[in-house]
Structure 1
Amino acid sequence: MKNQSLLHSWSSSAKQLVQPQRSSDVKAKYPAPSTLPFSNDKKANRLLSIDALRGFDMLLIAGGGTFLVLMKDKTGLSWINWIADQLTHPAWHGFTFYDFIFPLFLFLAGVSLPFSLNKGLEMGMNKSDLYRKAFWRMVILIVLGILDKNAPFPFFEPSQIRLGSVLGRIGLAGFVTTLLYLNYSWQKRLTVVGIILILYYAALFLIPVPGYGAGNLTFEGNLVGWIDRTFLPGRLLQKTYDELGLPTQFPAICLTILGAMAGDILRTTWSENRKVITLLLVGIAGIIFGLLWDLHFPINKHLWSSSFICLTAGMAFIFLAGFYLIIDVLKFRKWAFFFMVIGMNSLTVYLSYRFIDFMHTSKLLFGGLYAPPPEPWHEVYQAFGAMLLVWFFLYFLYRNKIFLKV
């Protein structure tokens, strides 16, 4: 009966989404400038699902899936090999689940922004204060990103410094999204996303690359690589281009802008079921649009193609809907604690995995336990032990309320 009631409520919410409304009703229900009714209940706005989903994402970004990759061809189980393949990037065109991990984090950075920005406004901060805070956060993340990607830092070899970084991209996307969020409605922000993706698509197909011509999407001849080689100083990760370089910043920002729109959906006074349905419908639309665009503009993480952005944004909306439904609506929370511990210290886990050799520590602590199995399995157990060490390190910080934030 409970499930029937839930399904009936979802059905009613879906009808509300598609039924036309009189302009007077819309104006009353969705006041300007945001056109969405938001809740001022701070307790209700604390969503554990966002921390859990961020933790799930960060676990894979920081190498939590390494032991699964290392299990490939060791078990004789085809499904294990399939999972291992999904946790590696394709060589060029194509898509695996691992391609979704960084876009999901960019999206979640946007989901959190409406909560933090509106909290700042409620505390009496003006827009200039919020701009300044977002700007310095961007600067700090860019610096941390450069240190992360170049450790040990080549102080005396500037040509070997890689400027593109994960943290830098997050900082830039957050700053741009902050500017747009504080000044434009969601309709205008969505228009910005559309313009960026279409112009990016047009540029890669219409602007000729010296020696290759226009519309060349090969590894060597694409426009993204030519711009990076020509205008981005320092070391390029892929030699002919850098997937975190200059042109790909523009489509990547769109994920954070769309994430802010998802955050606004979660902040509305709509029923929980309506929020879930809205997130699901938007997600499905994004996936369909991405797959259709893929017919001409291939899904490609290296190029951050427009079809790739639509696909991963759609997936992010659906994952957010699922986590929100299970954790914050249905209140099934115990399983999510493992991920929440990681998600509440995401910057810590990212940097600690870079500068602390958890794999070596795992070998020292647990090497005697996994010595009996065949030697090819040792690396699997070592990686699994490293993941556990990271989690207990973060759990120690969580228990002592130590959180590294920028």
Structure 2
Amino acid sequence: MRTDSSPQSPPHRLLSIDILRGFDMLWITGLKYFIIYTLVATQYIPNREAARSHTYLSQLDHVSWQGFHFYDLIFPLFLFLTGITIPLSITSKLQSGSATKTQLTIRCIRRLLLLIILGMIHQIHGLPERWPSVLGFIGLSYFIAAMLAIYTPRIIQLAYIPIALITYYLAIRFIPFNGHPAGTLTIDANLPSYIDSLIIPAKHMLIPKTPFDPEGPFMAIAGAALAMLGVYAGYILTNQNTKPIKRVGQLLILGLAAIFIAYLWSFDLPIIKQIWSSSFILAAAGCCFLLTAIFYLVIDVINFKPFNTLLFPLQLYGQNALAVYMIGPAIGITALLTSITAPILHNFSTATQLATIQALILITQTIYLYIFHKKRIFLRV
């Protein structure tokens, strides 16, 4: 891990990608809880649990198993954006001759190992025995996609997506396992989790009894397909032979097509985020393509400076995503702010206290990210 004096500056750096990543990080680091607790405090909903059954607020929680909510998109969006950076960095370095394949491979291996380690550190207080992690899953999926980008032509890179998704589907659909018939898909019994349990001891998975872990290594086969879809979006965005508005159209078409295919596929293979089912990958990728198109159109194509200035806080989060993800838990920001505000807020309702603390967390994060920006400190792996 290192701190750079400047953000990565590939030849075709896109402000929209930083801002979209920042939008994603804002949800990861607490915006959801601020919204829900504020609505409880203002008595729009009676309690936290009511949000889970609310027509719209339920979108701020993960689906328990089958289906798709807005909040199920947050992690896949980050992985998709990680894929977009591959053409912006790795591929551009190969094309310019500024780095060799060996140098880039070593860098990717280093990144993979660091993300696995940082992922375990991030969850050390809540899940000290767990080996898989969000960062580790991103690292492994990114590594597979990066190796494809470095060592194979684009046609092979593109072919990986259907090959991986169809193979993953066929395995789930037609391979019996551990006494269960082929096609069994419950949180207690599913093929991806079973294969992961052969790789990782059950006691080191999220749910040892089942065993089950949504960030297991076998599932990274599908995760890499999502990253490769991000790579393809990156190729579209960096294609200087097409006009920007045409790139927007291509992203929109791909997004709608992916969602349509996911919908059809879901009749045979349900959309299940927790095992990264092939239908889920396409549903998530479709939404990611659409969001990328919208952000790119508004921020980079229309490029209305006053509006982009209003989005500067999101840019701060997007430029230093790893910092904001790691620093909060490292300093115990929630416990710290709770202890500081307790004497002031003790007469207020619990929901008001929690909403205030979440607001202070977001403000504190924004302040130190702004300081990092001014000091040109950017945490990288």
TM over 0.5: yes
Check if 1:313 corresponds to 2:285. yes
- Sort the Cα spacing of 1:376 and 1:142 in 2 relative to 1 into closer, same or farther, 3 A: closer
Q: Which amino acid aligns with 2:356?
A: Y
Which residue is 1:56 aligned to?
Answer: 23
- Which of 118, 136, 139 is the matching residue for 1:144? 118
- Which of 207, 226, 237 is the matching residue for 1:266? 237
Contact 1:200 1:306 in 2 (8 A): yes
In structure 2, runs of 5+ residues without a counterpart are 1-8
Check if 1:219 corresponds to 2:187. yes
- Sort the Cα spacing of 1:151 and 1:375 in 2 relative to 1 into closer, same or farther, 3 A: closer
Mapped partners of 2:32, 2:377: distance in 1? 25
Deviates more, 1:272-281 or 1:82-91: 82-91
TM superposition score normalised by structure 1: 0.83
Number of residue pairs aligned between Structure 1 and Structure 2? 359
Contact 1:347 1:404 in 2 (8 A): yes
- Which of 320, 337, 345 is the matching residue for 2:320? 345
Q: Which amino acid aligns with 1:187?
A: I
Matches within 5 A, 1:292-331: 292-331=264-303
Mapped partners of 1:232, 1:44: distance in 2? 40
Deviates more, 1:332-341 or 1:229-238: 229-238
- Sort the Cα spacing of 1:246 and 1:190 in 2 relative to 1 into closer, same or farther, 3 A: same
Report the Cα offset of residue 88 of structure 1: 1.3
Which residue is 2:104 aligned to?
Answer: 130
Which residue is 1:189 aligned to?
Answer: 157
**Match of 2:31, SS?**
coil
Which residue is 1:275 aligned to?
Answer: 247
Which residue is 1:236 aligned to?
Answer: 205
Q: Which amino acid aligns with 1:326?
A: V
Mapped partners of 2:171, 2:127: distance in 1? 35
Mapped partners of 2:43, 2:34: distance in 1? 16
Which residue is 2:58 aligned to?
Answer: 85
**Match of 1:302, SS?**
helix
- Sort the Cα spacing of 1:49 and 1:111 in 2 relative to 1 into closer, same or farther, 3 A: same
Which residue is 2:221 aligned to?
Answer: 250
Q: Which amino acid aligns with 1:361?
A: L
Check if 1:65 corresponds to 2:32. yes
Give the CA RMSD over aligned residues: 2.2
Mapped partners of 1:140, 1:375: distance in 2? 39
Which residue is 1:287 aligned to?
Answer: 259
Report the Cα offset of residue 306 of structure 1: 0.4
**What does the per-residue CA deviation read over 1:3-42, in whole Å, with 9 as the maximum and x for residues that have no partner?**
xxxxxxxxxxxxxxxxxxxxxxxxxxxxxxxxxxxxxxx8
Deviates more, 1:361-370 or 1:211-220: 361-370
Contact 1:287 1:315 in 2 (8 A): yes
Report the Cα offset of residue 354 of structure 1: 2.0
Deviates more, 1:118-127 or 1:166-175: 118-127
Q: Which amino acid aligns with 1:109?
A: T
- Sort the Cα spacing of 1:376 and 1:129 in 2 relative to 1 into closer, same or farther, 3 A: closer
Report the Cα offset of residue 296 of structure 1: 1.2
Based on CA coordinates, which of the two structures has the bigger radius of gyration? Answer: 1
Q: Which amino acid aligns with 2:219?
A: T
Check if 1:357 corresponds to 2:332. yes
**What does the per-residue CA deviation read over 1:65-110, in whole Å, with 9 as the maximum and x for residues that have no partner?**
2212334555454798555422211211111111101110110001
Which residue is 1:96 aligned to?
Answer: 69
Report the Cα offset of residue 190 of structure 1: 2.0
Check if 1:177 corresponds to 2:107. no
**Match of 1:167, SS?**
helix
- Sort the Cα spacing of 1:375 and 1:176 in 2 relative to 1 into closer, same or farther, 3 A: closer
**Match of 1:361, SS?**
helix
Mapped partners of 2:41, 2:179: distance in 1? 45
Mapped partners of 1:183, 1:293: distance in 2? 31
TM superposition score normalised by structure 2: 0.88
Which residue is 1:112 aligned to?
Answer: 85
Mapped partners of 1:99, 1:152: distance in 2? 21
Report the Cα offset of residue 189 of structure 1: 1.6
In structure 1, runs of 5+ residues without a counterpart are 1-41, 155-160
**Match of 2:326, SS?**
helix
Which residue is 2:13 aligned to?
Answer: 46
**Match of 1:404, SS?**
strand
Contact 1:347 1:405 in 2 (8 A): yes
Mapped partners of 1:96, 1:74: distance in 2? 24
Q: Which amino acid aligns with 1:344?
A: Q
Contact 2:40 2:351 in 1 (8 A): no
Mapped partners of 1:153, 1:199: distance in 2? 32
Report the Cα offset of residue 336 of structure 1: 1.7
Report the Cα offset of residue 197 of structure 1: 0.6
Report the Cα offset of residue 124 of structure 1: 2.6
Report the Cα offset of residue 118 of structure 1: 3.5
Report the Cα offset of residue 44 of structure 1: 7.0
**What does the per-residue CA deviation read over 1:270-296, in whole Å, with 9 as the maximum and x for residues that have no partner?**
111001000110111011111111111
Q: Which amino acid aligns with 2:77?
A: L
Mapped partners of 2:41, 2:75: distance in 1? 28
Percent identical pairs in the alignment equals 35
Q: Which amino acid aligns with 2:82?
A: A
Mapped partners of 1:246, 1:298: distance in 2? 21
